[in-house]
Amino acid sequence: MNGRHFWRRGAVLSAVLLLSACATTGPWRVPYSIVPAAATGPSAASTLQGRTAAAILPVLRLAPVTAPEWLQGHDFHYRLLYENPQQALYYRDARWVGTPAQMMGDLLQGQLMDGGQWQAVLAPTSTGKAKLLLQVRLNDFTLDFSAPRQGVAQVAGEATLVDAQNYQVLGQQRFAFRAPAIPANPDGGALAMTRVSRAFAKAVGQWAEQVARHSMPG
CATH code of the domain containing 61? 3.40.50.10610
> What is the per-residue pLDDT across 3-42, written as a single tens digit (0 to 9) for each?
444 333 333 333 332 223 323 334 556 899 999 876 434 4
Percent of the chain beyond pLDDT 70? 78
- At 172 the pLDDT is 98
For 92-110, what is the mean pLDDT? Answer: 96
Residue 45 has pLDDT above 70, yes or no: no
- What is the share, in percent, of the chain residues with pLDDT greater than 90? 73
- Specify the pLDDT at position 29: 65
In a domain, 161, yes or no: yes
Please count the structural domains in the chain: 1
End-to-end CA distance of the chain: 94
Distance CA 176, CA 179 (A): 11
Specify if 105 maps to a domain.
yes
Distances (CA, A) of 75 to 13, 99, 136, 165, 184: 33, 8, 20, 37, 17
Establish if 3 belongs to a structural domain. Answer: no
Residue 50's pLDDT is what?
Answer: 43
Q: Which domain covers residue 149, as residue numbers? A: 41-215
